[in-house]
Structure 1
Amino acid sequence: MKYPAVRNYVAGQFVEDAGARALDVYSPLTGGVISTVPLSGAAALDKAVEAAKAVFPAWSAMPIKERVQIFYRYKTLLERDMKALADLVQEENGKTFDEARAEVEKAIELTEFACSMPQLIQGEFLEVSKGVEARVERKPLGVVASIAPFNFPNMVPHWTIPNALVLGNCMILKPSEVVPLSAGRIAELLKEAGLPDGVLNIVHGDREIVEAICDHPGIEAVSFVGSTKIAKVVYIRATSNLKRCVALGGAKNHLMVLPDAHPDMTASNVAASMSGCAGQRCMAGSTMVGVGAVDHIVQKLVDEARKIVPGQNLGSVISKEAKERIEKHITEAEAAGAKVLLDGRGARVEGHEDGYYVGPTVVDYVTPDMRIAQEEVFGPVLAILRTNTLDEALAIENANPYGNAAAVFTQSGSMARYVMDHANAGMIGVNIGVPVPREPFSFGGWNESKFGACDITGKSSIEFWTQLKKTTTKWNPESRVNWMS
């Protein structure tokens, strides 16, 4: 194996879980085993929570400006090791190097935002009556947990780690067992930056450890990113145990293309949206809704998609099972009457014949009842539906159960505004195929793309990771007493 066996990280040390089953870790680029990961259970989680609880009083008592200094140093370490971190992401996830590097760059931006917290959580103070003062301050929750997915092994942990820790919490991170390598490197760099032992702990595992996190009485809040099916289960289980929870699920994002859209810009944006990260992102534009006469744009789109080559500027999908599932969606759509304009089935990369590749695929004349139009494909596949009016396109978008993102491509400000007002999604793009907000604006969708209050990043995350403490004081016994004092 290229990498040593993955271990849990507890109280600042990598530790064996001798009683845990081991799972092979594959590189999707080659299909080869590169490491193993323990599938830990409740006993390992108990040790991690104990370590976090032990250090929480000292960590939360540290002034936030001192906690931030650690993350300033951490940011420079991310920059120093960017190539090595990107290489690791590429190997365990299958992204292209440029995509992996962009993931680390986003982690740096998320860390930068956390360093601004002292300016964002200033308390409130008011003399509410003569001699009586009221104060509101934000306080950490305690020990919290973050359950991360396979598609962004470096970025998504940074959706939660910097903000939650800077705000004074201690954390248990549960990475995806499919991509467990990056998490350990994050822990090493945070320790190098000066993070006290026990503030961040990592426990690896599968369903059993997720259930244990939801049930553990020592964990106050849980964040989750993954499929909608599992997000619902996590949200219900965590909140039934009286925890805060925000659980992000899947998506079916619609890109509405009007005839007046700029052809070149639209074609390049839609192609990038559907194929970036091999389509394995909840912001992927997996469905295009062509409104009216858009054949000229569709042709340019296909031409752009032909430039996307597996093994060059298109990475692999995560597993053999994912490849088979994605290709089945294409085959079923074709059998149901859709027209495959560009076919990525059976893709092979020379030298990596056992890798898990699907080429860029464009499927036209898809109807709303087809499975490819309803389900999250999570691959480099674009389904094109046709409508006569924008209202018909919006009806398709609004009928889908998800609500992560929607976009419109047009040169008409009024049409763009109409979509902004009527699309049933939490993130909207105008001539942008992947409308991810940049910090300090928060990431989060609607409907079955998110369960729970607050968003997972940006300013909104402050509400999730803290609680309010209200204090009223009076020091002047000589002051007149009334109903307010």
Structure 2
Amino acid sequence: MKYPITYNYINGQITESESTSFLDVISPLDGTLLSKVVMSKTNDLDNAVIAAGKAFEKWRKTPIKERVQVFFKYKQLLEQNLNDLAALCSEENGKTIGESIAEIEKCIELTEFATSLPQLITGEVLEVSRGVECRTEHTPLGVVASIVPFNFPAMVPNWTIPNAIALGNCMILKPSEKVPLSAIRIAELLKEAGLPDGVFNIVNGDADMVNAICDHPEIKAVSFVGSTAIAKVVYKRATSNLKRCLALGGAKNHLIVLPDARPDMTAANIVASMSGCAGQRCMAASAMVAVGSVDHIIDQIITEAKKIKPGDNLGAVINKASKERIERYITEAEAQGAKVLLDGRAPKVAGKENGTYVGPTVIDFVTPDMAIAREEVFGPVIAIIRTPNVEGALQIENANPYGNAAAVFTQSGGAARHIIENASAGMIGVNVGVPVPREPFSFGGWNDSKFGVGDITGKSSIEFWTQLKKSTTKWNPEAGVNWMS
């Protein structure tokens, strides 16, 4: 075992649990046993909430301009430790080093945004009547929780940690039990940056811990990122316990390709989108809608996809079960009449025979009723659905229950605008295969890709992590009495 057992992080220190249940943490790259992670008990969560509650009394009274000083230092530490953090991320998740470096760089950008929060929550003040002043101010909620997935061990936690904490809350993080190592390292860097003990805590566990977080009476808000099926459960359970909840689910992103699209640019973007992070991201290209005669672009996509090599510039999928599930989708679609143009099933990766790899896969003549066209595959696979016109493409896109992202590849501004206005998705790309907004623009989809109000990053996150206090003051008796007072 390469690393020590992964326990919890409570009140500024690694904390063992009474639990005797552990799960193996296996590297998807080569099957190496990295660590064992504790499956915590509810009393571990209670202890974390108590520590966070005590820390909150002082942290909420700390002026925000002082709170963000921690994140100026944290940003520096992320930069200084970038390569080590990326290596750890790659080991436990299976993505390439280059992708892991990009993930840490996004953490840095997210943290940089958090340092700007004092300029964004200044509130408002207005003399509403002679001698009467109204004021608004954002105040923190208290103890909050963030439940995060395996596909971005560092970035998704940093969607919530900097903003929620800079805004005055104290946090409980529940990492994926598949990738708990990066979270502990993040906690250590936050402490080194000067974050007071108890403000940030980690409780490891599985579905039982997710339920416990949703049920805990002292946790005021819960954010979740994961599959749509679980997002629905978390949203219903948390809100039934009168908590705020923002639950991000899965996706089925459609890339609409028009005949006038530039072949080289289109092919490069589509292949990068479908194969980046081994397709294990909610912004991955999952379905390409081929409008009219685009065979020349499909040929270019095949050429580009053949440059993607498992174990080289394509990482592993998270585990054996995921590999088997992805390959089942391919086999089923082929049996139903789809044509596999590039087959990534059962690749051989020299020296990493115990790794869990799926090669880039392109499947043509997929019909909208096939499972591979309807469901989130979460692998380096793109299904091509053909349609004669743009309206047909929009019907295909709008018919899917998800609404995370969509993109169009064209040189026509009018066609692009029409698709922007009519695609049912929260994030749209034009000649961009992964239309993730940069800070301060927020991340969030529509429909079955998101449950709750607002977005998880950017300016929109302020409303989720704070509540608005309104005060009305009057000091001068000479102002007299009117209908207000």
What's the counterpart of residue 386 of structure 1?
386
Q: Are residue 440 (structure 1) and residue 414 (structure 2) matched?
A: no
What's the counterpart of residue 189 of structure 2?
189
2:77 is matched by which residue type in structure 1?
Answer: L
Distance 1:197 1:156 in 2: 22
What's the counterpart of residue 3 of structure 1?
3
Would you say the 8 A contact 2:103–2:152 is kept in 1? yes
Q: Are residue 418 (structure 1) and residue 384 (structure 2) matched?
A: no
1:286 is matched by which residue type in structure 2?
Answer: S
The equivalences for 1:134-213 within 5 A come to: 134-213=134-213
Please list the CA deviations of residues 329-350 of structure 1 after superposition, one character each: whole Å capped at 9, or x if unmatched.
Answer: 0000000000000000011211
Distance 1:391 1:120 in 2: 41
What's the counterpart of residue 236 of structure 2?
236
Q: Are residue 328 (structure 1) and residue 338 (structure 2) matched?
A: no
What's the counterpart of residue 54 of structure 1?
54
Would you say the 8 A contact 1:31–1:354 is kept in 2? yes
Q: How far did residue 32 of structure 1 move? A: 2.2
2:78 is matched by which residue type in structure 1?
Answer: L
What's the counterpart of residue 262 of structure 1?
262
Would you say the 8 A contact 1:20–1:41 is kept in 2? no
Please list the CA deviations of residues 401-446 of structure 1 after superposition, one character each: whole Å capped at 9, or x if unmatched.
Answer: 0000000000000000000000000000000000000000000000
Q: How far did residue 33 of structure 1 move? A: 1.3
What's the counterpart of residue 367 of structure 1?
367
Q: Are residue 224 (structure 1) and residue 239 (structure 2) matched?
A: no
Task: Using structure 2 for the length normalisation, give the TM-score.
Answer: 1.00
Describe the SS at the equivalent of 1:37: strand
Q: How far did residue 323 of structure 1 move? A: 0.3
Distance 2:479 2:334 in 1: 82
Q: How far did residue 289 of structure 1 move? A: 0.4
Please list the CA deviations of residues 376-398 of structure 1 after superposition, one character each: whole Å capped at 9, or x if unmatched.
Answer: 00000010010000000110000
Describe the SS at the equivalent of 1:104: helix
Please list the CA deviations of residues 307-336 of structure 1 after superposition, one character each: whole Å capped at 9, or x if unmatched.
Answer: 000011000000000000000000000000
Q: How far did residue 31 of structure 1 move? A: 1.4
Q: Percent identity?
A: 71
What's the counterpart of residue 280 of structure 2?
280
What's the counterpart of residue 19 of structure 2?
19
Q: How far did residue 18 of structure 1 move? A: 2.7
Distance 2:453 2:227 in 1: 18
The equivalences for 1:95-134 within 5 A come to: 95-134=95-134
Describe the SS at the equivalent of 1:190: helix
What's the counterpart of residue 409 of structure 2?
409
Unpaired runs of at least 5, structure 1: none
Distance 2:341 2:293 in 1: 17
Distance 1:464 1:481 in 2: 37
1:355 is matched by which residue type in structure 2?
Answer: G
Q: How far did residue 133 of structure 1 move? A: 1.0
Aligned length: 485
Q: How far did residue 131 of structure 1 move? A: 1.1
Task: Using structure 1 for the length normalisation, give the TM-score.
Answer: 1.00
Please list the CA deviations of residues 430-484 of structure 1 after superposition, one character each: whole Å capped at 9, or x if unmatched.
Answer: 0000000000000000000000001000000000000001111111123221102
What's the counterpart of residue 86 of structure 1?
86
Q: Are residue 349 (structure 1) and residue 335 (structure 2) matched?
A: no
Would you say the 8 A contact 2:289–2:386 is kept in 1? yes
The equivalences for 1:58-69 within 5 A come to: 58-69=58-69
Describe the SS at the equivalent of 1:286: strand
Q: Cα RMSD between the aligned structures? A: 0.5
Describe the SS at the equivalent of 1:61: coil
Describe the SS at the equivalent of 1:160: helix
Would you say the 8 A contact 1:99–1:277 is kept in 2? yes
Describe the SS at the equivalent of 2:477: coil
What's the counterpart of residue 430 of structure 1?
430
Would you say the 8 A contact 2:19–2:41 is kept in 1? no
Describe the SS at the equivalent of 1:152: coil
Describe the SS at the equivalent of 2:71: helix
What's the counterpart of residue 303 of structure 2?
303
2:466 is matched by which residue type in structure 1?
Answer: T
Q: How far did residue 20 of structure 1 move? A: 4.0
What's the counterpart of residue 28 of structure 1?
28
1:255 is matched by which residue type in structure 2?
Answer: L
1:249 is matched by which residue type in structure 2?
Answer: G
Which shows bigger deviation, 13-22 or 240-249?
Answer: 13-22
Would you say the 8 A contact 1:275–1:360 is kept in 2? yes
Distance 1:3 1:336 in 2: 45
Distance 2:47 2:236 in 1: 25
Structure 1 stretches of 4+ moved >6 Å: none
Distance 1:382 1:275 in 2: 9
Please list the CA deviations of residues 242-298 of structure 1 after superposition, one character each: whole Å capped at 9, or x if unmatched.
Answer: 000000000000000000000000000000110000000000001000000000000
Distance 1:431 1:411 in 2: 9
Unpaired runs of at least 5, structure 2: none
Describe the SS at the equivalent of 2:146: strand
2:162 is matched by which residue type in structure 1?
Answer: P
The equivalences for 1:307-322 within 5 A come to: 307-322=307-322
Describe the SS at the equivalent of 1:478: helix
